[in-house]
């Protein structure tokens, strides 16, 4: 994997938050949803993004596609900085950058048929196509995602959650993009359906040469689909590694705690394993801890953690972690 298609440099997304009783001229406080994430995304790979609720995963993903305003940093797509593009220029890039949303039914227009929902991107970006050409492409992508052609005139409310997500996948892929951001695409589905959708995404990725950014809470699913994994905590990247290194030898105490909570299929191993519980709750991104943002819950925190903010350090060629005491502890 040496073909970089997207490079993210010091990405920050801050929101200005005011209290309910604030005067109009009063300044708000910055909510640091994403606070300085840098990484590269390679052609054809799947980057998994994990972390607790509120850690900035979805904000990070939407900022990659400029669906949210970026406070600082840049996102370079195939050599071009997306942050510098005008609204019209960014609109043209949407053909190459697509998104699959978390709630399959809410992401579909209830007043449009399945055929029109899937065809809408074609009619927007390729108006020169005839009606017959559009129908042929719609039927083709429906077949690839496992939708029967006789449902083309039905409406979203007539489908199950899994079928609605297949419609969303078809809509995202009909323009044959190079990168698809999947924002927790299986979290609202039953377990058996989750496996079907994840396997479908893997098959389509292989067929079409897609790069995926896959956000999820379930680390087992992330392990199954991802090539590399980014662990986020309070808007910061705390660990980034290929999945084998991350799951076999996690370096950051937060990653270790997350992985210790993943169920193991072997009952004997599950009974005897030690779950590393984190103290306290996730701090507010409006008032994050000084220095290392994880220090208030870290069992290994020392005095210098309160004054120095760690950056990602190289553990191996494919593994980085952000900790001032990296390599000092093994538990």
pLDDT digits over 183-196, tens only?
999 887 888 889 99
Global pTM reads 0.92
pLDDT digits over 252-294, tens only?
999 999 998 887 776 776 677 777 778 888 898 998 999 999 9
**Residue extents of the structural domains in the chain:** 4-16+32-250
- Tell me which long-range contacts 54-59 makes (C-beta under 8 A, separation of at least 24): 54/234, 54/282, 54/285, 55/232, 55/233, 55/234, 55/235, 55/282, 56/13, 56/232, 56/234, 56/235, 56/236, 56/285, 57/215, 57/232, 58/102, 58/183, 58/184, 58/215, 59/13, 59/33, 59/34, 59/235
Question: What gap in Å lies between CA 101 and CA 137, rounded to an integer?
Answer: 22
Q: pLDDT at position 124, please?
A: 93
**What is the CATH architecture assignment of 4-16+32-250?**
3-Layer(aba) Sandwich (3.40)
Give the H or E element holding residue 110: none
Q: pLDDT at position 1, please?
A: 53
CA nearest 244: which of 258, 262, 224, 264?
224
């Amino acid at each position: 994997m040496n073909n970089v298609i997207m490079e993210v440099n010091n990405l920050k997304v801050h929101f200005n938050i005011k209290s309910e009783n604030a005067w109009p001229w009063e300044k708000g406080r910055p909510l640091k949803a994403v606070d300085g994430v840098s990484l590269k995304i390679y052609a054809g790979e799947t980057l998994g993004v994990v972390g607790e609720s509120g850690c900035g995963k979805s904000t990070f993903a939407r900022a990659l596609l400029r669906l949210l305003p970026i406070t600082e940093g840049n996102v370079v797509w195939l050599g071009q900085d997306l942050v510098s593009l005008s609204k019209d220029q960014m609109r043209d890039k949407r053909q190459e950058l697509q998104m699959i949303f978390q709630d399959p039914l809410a992401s579909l227009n209830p007043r449009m048929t399945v055929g029109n929902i899937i065809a809408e991107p074609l009619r927007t970006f390729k108006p020169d196509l005839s009606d017959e050409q559009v129908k042929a492409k719609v039927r083709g992508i429906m077949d690839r995602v496992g939708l029967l052609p006789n449902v083309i005139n039905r409406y979203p409310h007539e489908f199950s959650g899994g079928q609605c997500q297949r419609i969303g996948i078809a809509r995202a892929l009909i323009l044959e993009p190079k990168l698809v951001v999947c924002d927790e695409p299986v979290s609202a589905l039953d377990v058996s359906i989750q496996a079907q959708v994840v396997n479908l995404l893997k098959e389509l990725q292989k067929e079409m040469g897609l790069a995926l950014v896959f956000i999820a809470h379930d680390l087992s699913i992330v392990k199954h689909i991802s090539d590399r994994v980014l662990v986020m905590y309070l808007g910061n990247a705390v660990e980034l590694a290929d999945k084998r290194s991350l799951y076999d030898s996690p370096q950051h105490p937060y990653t270790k705690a997350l992985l210790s909570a993943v169920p193991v299929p072997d009952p004997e191993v599950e009974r005897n394993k030690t779950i590393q519980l984190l103290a306290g709750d996730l701090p507010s991104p409006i008032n994050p801890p000084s220095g290392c943002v994880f220090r208030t819950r870290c069992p290994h925190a020392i005095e210098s953690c309160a004054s120095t903010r760690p950056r990602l350090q190289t553990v191996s060629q494919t593994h980085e972690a952000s900790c001032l005491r990296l390599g000092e502890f093994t538990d």
